[in-house]
Amino acid sequence: MKIIKTFTRLYVEDINSALAFYEQLLNTKPSLRFTYPAVHLELAGIGDFLLLAGSEEALAPFRETKATCVVDSILEFRTHLLDQGSEIIHDIR
């Protein structure tokens, strides 16, 4: 199991305005950008930040999460976390 990238999450109202700010701040373009229609969110990764945009209601279930890890095997990572005593609150979807 390998962690490929870690993102610090930032919750924003307007992803376009936030991206413009971080593009200028970091002098780079987003490495990823997509919508997550099932939960009414739009996400973008830029540098070490993951921007999540949506209504307050859509963002509410995610606000307690502070970081995201991109891993080479989510099943191995899940097993590792459980072996280390972590509690899975929401399982893999």
CATH topology for 3-83 is 2,3-Dihydroxybiphenyl 1,2-Dioxygenase; domain 1 (3.10.180)
Domain residue spans of the chain: 3-83
d(CA 25, CA 73): 32
pTM: 0.86
pLDDT of residue 3: 95
Sheet (strand 32-36) strand order? 32-36, 41-46, 49-53, 3-12, 67-71
Q: Residue 40 carries which DSSP code?
A: T
Backbone angles phi, psi at 3, to 5 degrees: -85, 120
Per the CB < 8 A criterion, the answer to whether 42 and 35 are in contact is yes
Per the CB < 8 A criterion, the answer to whether 32 and 51 are in contact is no
Q: Give residue-wise pLDDT tens across range 17-41.
A: 999 999 999 999 999 999 999 999 9
d(CA 83, CA 78): 9
